[in-house]
Amino acid sequence: MTHERLIIIGAGPAGWTAAIYAARAGLSPLILTGPEPGGQLMTTTDVENYPGFVEAVTGPDLMAAMRGQAERVGTRVVEEAVEAVDFAASPLRVGPHTADAVIIATGAKARWLGLPSEEAFKGRGVSACATCDGFFFRGQDVAVVGGGNAAVEEALYLSGLCRSVTLIHRRDALRAEKIAQDRLFARKNIAVKWNAQVAEVVGDASGVTGVRLTTGEILGVTGLFVAIGHDPATAPFAGHVPLDSEGYIVVEPGTPCTAVPGVFAAGDVADKTYRQAITAAGMGCMAALEAERFLAH
Ligand SMILES: Cc1cc2nc3c(=O)[nH]c(=O)nc-3n(C[C@H](O)[C@H](O)[C@H](O)COP(=O)(O)OP(=O)(O)OC[C@H]3O[C@@H](n4cnc5c(N)ncnc54)[C@H](O)[C@@H]3O)c2cc1C
């Protein structure tokens, strides 16, 4: 067992940014990387919207740079996954470690349809993030799967970039809020396929060329955006820090502060609205500044 001033759980943009700020504040943070050092961006190629790069940077290169920067300023890195915590204890317990303050930055994962053809075309036409990848499909025909607020928001966002958007929904009514539905139905280039599911993603060496629906119809699209929800990685924290009904860590609005003194949360684990590398990094910075203030008092 080691005692630390600050433990950061998770090594995506939120965790590495928190580590950079905490290390430069003299806190000598320990970061526990979990199963995916680098986080979600390790699974993508071009990132065109992270500021500071004239040419697109690849996800793995961006994360390697963040890690290198964090280590250079004094972050200690352990490739360990946290399975249990006790935040009622003093000091706080994180697996075999104790800490005066903890930043949770364990991210979230998109839910997928679970089709082999979806897996085969991930990153080649199949995406779970319109803000991230919509730009690559401008002027093209795309489809979105889902019926909640997220799916409607993705369809609206894409309709500003793409020639046409087809929303595929397995029921005959959307779950999204009425105001979002009104905006959706008012868009001329959005159509809805009701009572339909994706049976297969069709494509060739160039990427996705279409989507076969359970109704038998084939939609000619080059992009398929799956918007059926995300799962935040919060299992070890349930019962130790307040979670909302979808499992996200609850923070005081506009801050990374949880209801537990000394425990902060940053990035996708506490943000179901923006889910971007830059917003995760911004929250990581805020969490480190709050942790530094907490430890100083
Ligand atoms: C394919 C893809 C493409 C994307 N493209 C873009 C893009 O172009 N631009 C953009 O801004 N955003 C993009 N995103 C979104 C972006 O990746 C996320 O918003 C961002 O990574 C969130 O950062 P995070 O630090 O909150 O969490 P994550 O990146 O999810 O990192 C979570 C970290 O927590 C660790 N962890 C999880 N559980 C535990 C545990 N129990 N113990 C210890 N550690 C744990 C993981 O190992 C990982 O290191 C993309 C996402 C995907 C999936």
* Rounded CA separation 180/262 (Å): 38
To test the pocket of ligand 1, the residue of 47, 104, 106, 264 to mutate (highest count of ligand atoms within 8 Å of its CB) is: 106
**DSSP-assigned beta bridge partners for residue 167:** 144, 192
Tokens of 233: 């990685």
Q: How far is CA 212 from CA 41, 72, 142, 169, 203, in A?
A: 29, 50, 13, 14, 11
Q: How far is CA 64 from CA 38, 45, 133, 201, in A?
A: 7, 13, 21, 32
Q: Taking the model in full, what pTM does it have?
A: 0.93
CATH class of 3-109+230-296: alpha beta
* Per-residue pLDDT at 1: 74
* Per-residue pLDDT at 29: 98
* Per-residue pLDDT at 23: 98
State the closest ligand 1 atom to the C-alpha of 16, by its place in the atom list counted from 1.
25
All CATH 3.50.50.60 domain ranges of the chain, comma separated, are 3-109+230-296, 112-226
Q: CATH number for the 112-226 domain, one of 3.40.50.300, 3.50.50.60, 1.10.540.10, 1.20.1250.20?
A: 3.50.50.60
Q: Please give the distance, rounded to the nearest whole angstrom, from the Cα atom of residue 12 to the centre of ligand 1.
A: 5
* Rounded CA separation 100/260 (Å): 12
Confidence category of residue 45, pLDDT binned at 50, 70, 90:
confident
Query: Is residue 166 scored above 90 in pLDDT?
Result: yes
Q: Is 256 in the pocket of ligand 1 (CB under 6 A)?
A: no
DSSP secondary structure string for all residues of 86-113? ESSSSSEEETTEEEEEEEE---EEE---
